[in-house]
Amino acid sequence: MGRRRKYLGILSKIALPLIIMVILVLVAGCSTSQESRPSASNAPPVAGNDSVPTSNGLTQTNAGGAVEIQVKWLADKKDSLVFDVSMNTHSVDLDKYDLKQLTVLHDSQGNAYQPLSWSSAAGGHHRSGKLIFAVPSSLNEGGTKFLHMVIRNVAGVKERSLEWDLG
């Protein structure tokens, strides 16, 4: 019995700290920040313009409610704004969120624009797709200083803000 008790004592001294470390690593890996983080600056071509420079990058990120949303401004079509959206999580079913219903785009002149479409395949915890808007006339005319995207009610976060500064 003495030998068994000795091994159990050693095992408990090693196992408990090891289990705590594993739990902490898992929690830290699944945690995200609430802040938007802009990436490196680039310029997307937009409807009739060769480019619209953004001072804070093409890709914007917002994380909260255990979901990270990354939105990259693309330039696929002449008559529309195309955003590549990626949503990632370890714990939330993302298939129930229709970004066409949950997203609005604002310009610096106070105009609001609803998406024309949201195309995305189901993905569970990892979902991506294209969010498409008509090109705001203020953008074509060079009259807007920013585009501000609001995504509402994803994973318990009331509003997620993503902004592209245009100079």
Chain segment 25-72, per-residue pLDDT in tens: 555 555 444 343 333 334 444 444 445 567 778 999 999 999 999 999
Q: What is the mean pLDDT of residues 128-157?
A: 91
pLDDT of the residue at 18: 61
- Strand segments, DSSP code E, in the chain are 59-64, 67-74, 80-89, 103-107, 112-113, 117-120, 126-134, 146-154, 157-165
pLDDT of the residue at 45: 43
- Across the chain, mean pLDDT equals 79
**For residues 89 and 67, is the Cβ–Cβ distance under 8 A?**
yes
**Could you give the CA distance from residue 143 to residue 158 in angstroms, rounded to a whole number?**
29
pLDDT at residue 81 greater than cutoff 70 = yes
CATH code for the part of the protein at 59-165: 2.60.40
**For residues 133 and 105, is the Cβ–Cβ distance under 8 A?**
yes
Rg (CA), the chain: 22
Chain segment 148-160, per-residue pLDDT in tens: 999 999 999 999 9
**CA atoms within 13 A of residue 21's CA, in its CB half-sphere:** 5
**Could you give the CA distance from residue 39 to residue 157 in angstroms, rounded to a whole number?**
22
29 versus 103: the higher-pLDDT residue is 103
114 versus 56: the higher-pLDDT residue is 114
Band of pLDDT at residue 101, cut at 50, 70 and 90: very high
76 versus 1: the higher-pLDDT residue is 1
Q: What is the pTM (predicted TM-score) of this model?
A: 0.68
Chain segment 2-33, per-residue pLDDT in tens: 666 666 666 667 766 666 665 655 555 554 44
CA dihedral 75, 77, 79, 84 (to 10 degrees): -50
Domain ranges of the chain: 1-31, 59-165
